[in-house]
């Protein structure tokens, strides 16, 4: 099922309406959809490297908007929508762990998890379930999702197709390094 869905999404990357598909995919991925925005972002940036920053900005804004929907789902539609989404991904334990982490670390969790391969929809739904404050949630989402999309777009814009394989194989490692940098910054700020 996911292979067919992926193939269909890839066909949209070359469509005249690709920008709309990118916006829709990015919005949906932050709340309910299984495929990451990079599925379209990478081929679109490779096809039009001069538009890399615009695509990254669009992904950031749509991801934050979709994240707001995920937050609302977690906060208000727990049993009817949120639990079935979490169950679909077999992520009940991950969600419970995220909720506990929100109680202790708050914004740091959003900043870290927004960069990692953990589906961002789990972060947004867990934020809503924990009734995490909306303004810090949105600001942290803007930072972490922007960092992710602008990093990918920037690397693709600068290095083109040769970096694509590196991104596919090493994106979790790159994101993890960025996440460690954020942790170090947060810990450092707490002790200043």
pLDDT tens-digit readout, 95-152: 777 777 777 777 777 877 777 667 788 888 888 888 888 999 999 999 999 988 998 8
pLDDT of 61 above 90? yes
Place of tokens 């925005």: 37
The Cα 71–Cα 28 span in angstroms is 13
Q: Output phi, psi for 36, to 5 deg.
A: -75, 155
Distance between CA 28 and CA 35 in Å, rounded? Answer: 9
pLDDT for 75 beyond 80: yes
Give pLDDT, residue 23: 95
| Residue-wise pLDDT tens digits, 144-186 | 999 889 988 998 898 887 776 766 666 566 666 665 665 565 5
């Amino acid at each position: 099922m996911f292979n067919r869905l992926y193939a269909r999404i890839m066909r949209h990357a070359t469509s005249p309406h690709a920008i709309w598909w990118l916006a829709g995919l990015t919005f949906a991925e932050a709340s309910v959809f299984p495929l990451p925005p990079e599925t379209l972002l990478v081929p679109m940036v490779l096809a039009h490297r001069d538009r890399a920053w615009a695509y990254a900005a669009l992904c950031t804004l749509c991801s934050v908007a979709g994240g707001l929907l995920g937050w609302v789902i977690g906060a208000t539609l727990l049993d009817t929508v949120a639990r079935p989404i979490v169950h679909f991904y077999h992520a009940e334990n991950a969600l419970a762990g995220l909720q506990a982490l929100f109680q202790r670390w708050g914004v740091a969790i959003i900043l870290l998890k927004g960069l990692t391969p953990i589906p961002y929809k789990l972060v947004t739904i867990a934020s809503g379930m924990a009734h995490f404050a909306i303004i810090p949630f949105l600001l942290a989402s803007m930072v972490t999702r922007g960092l992710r999309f602008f990093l990918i777009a920037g690397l693709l814009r600068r290095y083109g197709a040769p970096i694509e394989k590196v991104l596919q194989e090493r994106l979790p490692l790159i994101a993890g390094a960025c996440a460690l940098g954020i942790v170090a910054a947060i810990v450092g700020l707490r002790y200043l």
